[in-house]
Amino acid sequence: MKNYTSVHDVPDVAALVQEALELKKNPYAHKSLGENKTLGLIFLNPSLRTRLSTQKAALNLGMNVMVMNMDKEGWALETQDGVVMNGTTVEHIREAAAVMGQYCDILGLRSFPKLQSREEDYSEDILNKFMKYAGVPILSLESATRHPLQSLADLITITEHKPTGLRPKVVLTWAPHVKALPQAVPNSFAEWMCAADVDFVIAHPEGYELESSFTDGATITYDQDEALQNADFVYIKNWSSFHDYGKVLTEGEGWMMTNEKLAKTNNAKVMHCLPVRRGLELSHEILDGPNSIVIQEAGNRVYAAQAVIKRLLENKA
Ligand code: AN0
Ligand code: CP
């Protein structure tokens, strides 16, 4: 693998999941693979899970890790080309990415969308410029439109918890939130589920349609109750509108997942990428109850990252 920025970098999704499950059984089996190699983790936005799980994954492979919180510790980055930098930005992404590439063998990058211009966010300008100027493999730690390490961890978790021999029904359902959130997690989850051996349904209020290239092959409905029928997994996530870009269109009353709704499912396991707003996206009773697998899901972030970093180190598809 040259870079890891989406499901399209993975020729065989099921094989990558199996490799991650093998690493989970034996995390230190490749301790010498990363010897004398350095992973740089560059955060333009906050993180708990991605930062710690990716660091842990690299340590399991024997790598050195350096973390840079650019938003708090770095110089303000200029991303536009050809501008006179006489304003607040201090350093251009051309130099910054190239310099980081001098210090690291692989660079992880978290770069959220600004949710102001759809064209700008969906062009993945910052991620693409890192790939162009860093000169080393790039690992997405959540970009403007995707979160592929999360989606791989989600598929690992579904594979572990699915009833044997069955093609599980997986439902992605929109949930209320007080802030406008990116479409990256649902976009990415959708394109991974469409590539996996699952029956995949997306439920959301009208106006929250995702960009169709991510959801090709999914069943899409505005009726959450209908979607939840016989579900084996329910994946809860808020996102802002793609079509009315970055807007919160509704308070989403009635869309929070509760035990009452769970009763319509096939005793579904409940998933969320975290961080989650209790009592708003998901009820306390679900998060504290037996159907929630959000903690195991977060735990699998280590093995998702480890499988991917292993392939980047091996430069193997
Ligand atoms: C971010 C998002 O929705 O993309 C990160 C999730 C992993 N969530 C929040 O900002 C709450
Ligand atoms: N799920 C996830 O990526 O969490 P963080 O934003 O805390 O890294």
The 10s digit of each residue's pLDDT in 229-286 is 999 999 999 999 999 999 999 999 999 999 999 999 999 999 999 999 999 999 999 9
Task: Residues 7-146+301-316: name the CATH superfamily.
Answer: Aspartate/ornithine carbamoyltransferase (3.40.50.1370)
Question: What are the residue boundaries of the structural domains of the chain, listed by start?
Answer: 7-146+301-316, 154-298
Please choose from 43, 50, 140 the residue to mutate so as to test ligand 2's pocket, defined by most ligand atoms within 8 A of CB.
50
Beta strands in the chain (DSSP E): 38-43, 64-69, 77-78, 91-92, 106-110, 138-140, 169-174, 199-203, 219-221, 233-237, 269-271
Question: Tens digits of per-residue pLDDT, 43-94?
Answer: 999 999 999 999 999 999 999 999 999 988 889 999 999 999 999 999 999 9
Of the ligands numbered here, which is closest to the C-alpha atom of 112?
1
Domain spanning 154-298, CATH class: alpha beta
pLDDT grade, residue 163 (50/70/90)? confident
Confirm or reject: Cβ of 144 under 6 Å from ligand 1.
no
Confirm or reject: Cβ of 50 under 6 Å from ligand 2.
yes
Confirm or reject: Cβ of 182 under 6 Å from ligand 1.
yes
Rounded (10°) angle between helices 301-314 and 13-25: 110
Please choose from 49, 140, 238 the residue to mutate so as to test ligand 2's pocket, defined by most ligand atoms within 8 A of CB.
49
- Burial profile 82-97: b = 16 or more Cβ within 10 angstroms, e = fewer: eeeeeeeeeebbeebb
Of the ligands numbered here, which is closest to the C-alpha atom of 183?
1
Pairing of strands 169-174, 199-203: parallel
Return the bridge partners of 173, or none.
203, 236
